[in-house]
Amino acid sequence: MKLQVFNDLPREEYLFCGHTACPGCAATLSVRYLTKALGKKTVFVITASCFSIIAGQPPLRTLDLNVYHCPFPSSAAVGSGLKRGLTAAGDDQTQVLVLAGDGGTFDIGLQGLSAAAERNEDIIFVCYDNEAYMNTGMQRSSASPYGSQSNTTPAPLAKPTPKKDIMSIIAAHAIPYAATATVAYPRDLLAKFSKAGTIKGFRFFHLLSPCPPGWGIESDETIELSRLAVETGVFPLYELEDGEFVTLSHKPEKLLPVADYLRPQRRFSTLTAADHEKIQNSVEHGWKKLLARAGNR
Amino acid sequence: MAQKIITGNQAVAYAVKLARTQVISAFPITPQTTVVETLAEMWAQGEYTGEFVSVESENSALAYCIGAAYAGARAFTATSSHGLAYMHELLHWASGARLPLVMANANRALGAPWCIESDQIDSLAQRDTGWIQFYCSSVQEILDTVIFAFRLAEEVRLPVMVCYDGFYLSHTYEAAAIPEQPQVDSFLPAPARKPAFDIDNPENRHGLVSAEAMARLLNVRYRATEMAGEKYELLDQEFYRAFGRSYEAVEYFGPKQAGTLFLTAGGMAQTIKSFLTVPGREEALLRVKQFRPFPSAGVRDILSCSHVERVIVADRNVCMGVGGIFAQEVRAALYGLPHPPQVIELNLAGGVDLTPEMLEKALAAAPGYAADEKIMWAVELL
């Protein structure tokens, strides 16, 4: 694969080196990129997740930005309150960014997220989705895909139900802006966050975040798996505005076989050829639906 | 100062408006609902000019206030019963983060089964969450205590819960003096319009710490809670100068040499006071307004007087396997006294209405109570 060099990304760094994330953590790399796009007038609200640890033990800090931690189900409400509080305190410039994992988004945080989206609170909600509760050591979440193993869906069993479609739930709220992104496409990720920074109202990001220890991949495979997720159609990159489909950010000429994405991951090791076919069909079905929506624009 | 005939819930709303609250976030629950509705009406009419946010749950209501307080805004919520229970995790967070929030809680029972009567277990079950707690006994006192609570909360950087009996006070109309805005401003300065954090000097707040760091923070918070108790009297004097009204943390009512004392918190005090004003009554009342920190010294000073033989604690709550919670606190306050008075519990858990007849029966039955027989169940006196 051809090496790409990005010399035009913002030079500012808001994520210090020496943080405590695992090597190859896509969530941490995502935060490094998105903070470059949003800049220094950003305050983070971080809910219970790997990032509760990665952010550092106070008074130490990983981010060169203000960070407030909050309890697990409360992040969307705390973030919304922080934004309104800032407005009341005379600051209508600072962006409030809520950072949650898939647990804090798809599961325990969903009620508060839905409510904040419905109220069109002026915040950016970022879900870094590593598809299981990784901070507690890899237990299934409702973001875990069909056929994935975890410590609560251990081999020879695996998750019997498909991943929850969070973007459809978000789309149903008709919020001003929502997008998917991954670190394999940093230019796309940065452009989407830069765009989000100029929009008022509720903004949502779904970032697929490969997790080397959780997924059973090597730490240097994060980018490759992120890219394969997109190229196979497992995780398409797109934007929604007001709940309506806007653009497909990256359209592969032809989708790669889903098995290319599944095989390198230990969490899918119990899958049979029949499972692969079932997943392939499901991904193709989803992809066609997405193309149909894209065609309508 | 205008006199108005208002309910306890409306009194809360007037106080919240006068306190120049900047962010209100709440979720309706019987019997608190009219607090939210009155504030919404004030907001719609432009009388209240801060943020008013209807959220989807009590958990989010308190989370919202926590966020607002992170930003440095003066924030308020109100709830009751299951709503307060649903906030539990965030109650700890708010006090741990040292946020000066104020909450009104209309006391109500917790199911199962569903019950909307005025049991105090909702707020008493939150006694270990680190919030300052007050129990009010009149509509005027509710209004005054909410204003007072903001001042105290901001002085000691701890959240304050203002509790009052559901229906008995939340829905009862009483005459109350509505203070003028300058009067309130003189006691409770308008909040600073300045974010609580500095963009140029970022910090990582409330993230993971070690046991030792946690212990130090708890220690400092313990001291701040004690300080809230110590400051109460001084602030109450200041309140008196501004408004002409005063409320003691522990209030004594009745003849000086009474041998039998009633002790209670909240609206039941009004019933007991009117019972005691009947000519010929020799008993007195001790009303505990401040529950956290518990005013042990104040209670002990009075109950250790040699003429006090017996104290009948009217508790509208029950801790299973132990008894009424105010009674527990009173017993703890009396621990170590050489000749403590007998503590008898008149338990009205469930929200049973305290009547003069019941007080009469309790007084008649009390002398027959043995030392190990402590709970007189109100329902059995009906």
Query: pLDDT-based confidence at A295, cuts 50/70/90?
Result: confident
- pLDDT band with cut points at 50, 70 and 90 for residue A1: low
**A260 belongs to a structural domain:** yes
Q: Using CB atoms and an 8 Å cut-off, which of residues 260-279 of chain B contact chain A?
A: none
pLDDT single digits (tens) B273-301: 999 999 999 999 999 999 999 999 999 99
- Residue A297 binned pLDDT confidence (cut-offs 50, 70, 90): low
Comparing CA positions, the residue from B53, B46, B57, B47 lying closest to residue B68 is B53
Residue A20 placed within a domain: no
pLDDT single digits (tens) B301-320:
999 999 999 999 999 999 99
Of A149, A124, A238, which Cα lies nearest the Cα of A185? A238
Does the residue A248 lie in any domain? yes
Within-domain flag for A271: yes
d(CA B125, CA A52): 29
Distance in angstroms (rounded) separating the CA atoms of residues A183 and A141: 22
Residue B134 pLDDT > 70: yes
Does residue A202 sit within a domain? yes
pLDDT computed for residue A245 by the predictor: 84
Confidence check: pLDDT of A2 > 80: no
pLDDT of residue A296 exceeding 70: no
Same domain, B196 and B217: yes
Preceding peptide of B113 cis, ω within 30°:
yes
Say how many domains are in chain A: 1
Residues A61, B203: C-beta atoms closer than 8 Å: yes
- Cross-chain residue pair B207–A58, CB shorter than 8 Å: yes
What's the whole-number mean pLDDT along residues A116-124? 98
| DSSP letter (8 states) at residue A103 | I
Does B71 contact chain A (CB < 8 Å)?
A: yes
Place of tokens 């309130």: B184
pLDDT of residue A9: 85
3-state secondary structure B216-276: HHHHHHHHHHHHHHHHHHHHHHHHHHHHCCCCCCEEEECCCCCCEEEEECCCHHHHHHHHH
Of the residues B189, B216, B243, the one at which a domain ends? B243
Cβ of A88 and B194 within 8 Å? no
Residues B177 and B282 in one domain: no
Nearest CA in chain A to B195: A89
Distant-in-sequence contacts of A148-151, Cβ < 8 A, 24+ apart: A148/A267, A148/A268, A149/A266, A149/A267, A149/A268, A149/A269, A149/A270, A150/A214, A150/A267
Looking at the fold, whether B202 and B325 belong to one and the same domain comes out as: no
Among the partner residues A61, A88, A111, nearest to B56 by beta-carbon distance: A111
Q: Model confidence at A106, in pLDDT bands (50, 70, 90)?
A: very high
Nearest to A69 among B23, B89, B206 (CB): B206
A84 and B194 in contact by Cβ < 8 A?
A: no
What are the pLDDT digits (tens) for A257-293? 999 999 999 999 999 999 999 999 999 999 999 999 8
Q: Dihedral (C-alpha) B176, B180, B185, B191: value to the nearest 10 degrees?
A: 80
pLDDT, tens digit (0-9, with 9 covering 90-100), for A164-195: 999 999 999 999 999 999 999 999 999 999 99
Among A78, A96, A99, A110, most B C-beta atoms within 10 A, so best to mutate, is A78
Judge: B60–A65 Cβ closer than 8 Å, yes or no: no
Interface contact flag, A52 B208, Cβ < 8 Å: yes
Mutate to test the interface with A, among B60, B88, B93, B217 (most CBs of A within 10 A): B60
Query: Residue B127: is it exposed, middle or buried by C-beta count within 10 angstroms (0-12/13-18/19+)?
Result: middle
Using CB atoms, which residue from B23, B199, B206 is nearest to A84?
B23
Residue B53, beta-bridge partner list: B25
- CB distance A89–B194 less than 8 Å? yes
Residue A241 lies in a domain: yes
The chain A residue lying nearest B65, using CA atoms, is A81
Model confidence band, residue A3 (pLDDT cutoffs 50, 70, 90): low
Question: Domain boundary residue among B185, B213, B243?
Answer: B243
Q: Are residues B146 and B256 in the same domain?
A: no
Share of chain B above pLDDT 90, in %: 96
**Is the whole-model pTM more than 0.90?**
yes
Q: Read off the pLDDT of residues A69-93 as tens digits, 9 standing for 90 and up.
A: 999 999 999 999 999 999 999 999 9
B350 near A CB under 8 A: no
Which residue shows structure tokens 């009067």? B183
**Chain B partners within 8 Å of A98 (Cβ):** none
Residues B184, B239: one domain?
yes
Distance of CA B179 to the CA centre of its chain: 21
Q: What is the mean pLDDT of residues A7-17?
A: 90
The SS3 call for residue A153 is strand
Helix, strand, coil share of chain A (percent; to 5): 40, 15, 45
Query: B193 contacts in A (CB within 8 Å)?
Result: 88-90
The CA distance from A123 to B207, in Å, is 21
Cα distances (angstroms) measured from residue A248 to each of A31, A33, A237, A260 = 23, 21, 6, 22
Do B223 and B351 share a structural domain? no
Q: Do A71 and B206 touch (CB under 8 A)?
A: no
Is B64 near chain A, with CB under 8 Å? yes
pLDDT of residue A139: 97
Chain A: residue whose CA lies nearest to B24: A81
Domain-embedded: residue A15: no
> Across chain A, what does the average pLDDT equal?
95
pLDDT in tens, B229-277: 999 999 999 999 999 999 999 999 999 999 999 999 999 999 999 999 9
Band of pLDDT at residue A248, cut at 50, 70 and 90? very high
Same domain assignment for residues B18 and B51: yes
pLDDT at A294: 83
The answer to whether residue B94 neighbours chain A at the CB level (below 8 Å) is no
Nearest neighbour of B60 by CB, restricted to A41, A82, A115: A115
Write down which residue in B243, B277, B309 finishes a domain: B243
Give me the CATH number covering residue A169: 3.40.50.970
At residue B378, the 3 state secondary structure works out as helix
Give me the CATH number covering residue B375: 3.40.50.920
pLDDT tens profile B187-215: 999 998 899 999 999 999 999 999 999 99
Examine the domain organization and report whether B198 and B280 are in the same domain: no
**Interchain proximity B67–A85, CB inside 8 Å:** yes
| B184 DSSP 8-state letter | H
Q: In percent, how much of chain A has pLDDT > 70?
A: 98
> What CATH number should be reported for the domain holding residue B146?
3.40.50.970
Size of interface A-B (CB pairs under 8 A): 171
What are φ and ψ of residue B54, in 5° steps? -90, 110
B25 touches chain A (CB under 8 A): yes
How would you classify residue A59: left for phi > 0, otherwise alpha for psi between -120 and 50, otherwise beta? alpha
Domain holding A267, by residue range, is: 26-295
Q: What is the Cβ-side half-sphere exposure of residue B78, based on CA atoms within 13 angstroms?
A: 34
Q: Among residues A257, A278, A286, A256, which one has the least CA distance to residue A147?
A: A278
CA distance, residue A174 to nearest chain B CA (Å): 18
Distance from CA of B220 to the nearest CA of A (A): 17
Q: Specify the DSSP element, H or E, that contains A288.
A: helix A273-295
pLDDT of residue B306: 95
Q: What is the ipTM of this complex?
A: 0.96
pLDDT digits (tens, 9 = 90+) for B339-382: 999 999 999 999 999 999 999 999 999 988 876 677 999 999 88
Q: Which residues contact A109 (CB under 8 A, 6 or more apart)?
A: A47, A72, A73, A74, A75, A76, A100, A103
Nearest CA in chain A to B90: A71
CA A208 – CA A149 distance, rounded (Å): 18
In a domain, A257, yes or no: yes
User: Closest Cα partner for A27 from A37, A41, A39, A15?
Assistant: A15
| Structural domain span for residue B365 | 252-381
Both B279 and B217 in a single domain?
Answer: no
B69 lies within 8 A of chain A by CB? yes
B153 and B284 co-located in one domain:
no
Q: Is B130 left (phi over 0), alpha (psi -120 to 50) or beta?
A: left
Using a CB–CB cutoff of 8 Å, tell me whether B91 touches chain A. Answer: no
Question: What secondary structure, in 3-state letters, does A226-243 show?
Answer: HHHHHHCCCCCCEEEECC
Q: Report the pLDDT value the prediction gives residue B373, as an integer from 0 to 100.
A: 73
- Return the closest-CA partner of residue B54 out of B82, B31, B27: B27
| The pair of three-digit structure tokens given for residue B190, joined into one six-digit string | 């308008």
Residue-wise pLDDT tens digits, A139-165: 999 999 999 999 999 999 999 999 999
CA distance B16 to B340: 42
pLDDT score recorded for residue A28: 98
SS3 assignment for A42-101:
EEEEEECCHHHHHCCCCCCCCECCEEEEECHHHHHHHHHHHHHHHHHCCCCCCEEEEEEE
- With vertex at residue B222, the alpha carbon angle to CA B220 and CA B223, rounded to the nearest 5 degrees, is 65
Average pLDDT over all residues of chain B:
97
Q: Return the residue of A nearest to B55 by Cα.
A: A115
Looking at the structure, tell me whether residues B266 and B363 fall in a common domain: yes
Sequence-distant (6+) residues with CB within 8 A of B200 are none
Task: Examine the domain organization and report whether B70 and B130 are in the same domain.
Answer: yes
Number of domains in chain B: 2
Chain B residues within 8 A of A80 when measuring between CB atoms: 53, 64, 67
Angular region, A138: left φ>0, alpha ψ -120 to 50, beta rest: left
* Residues of B in Cβ contact (< 8 Å) with A21: none
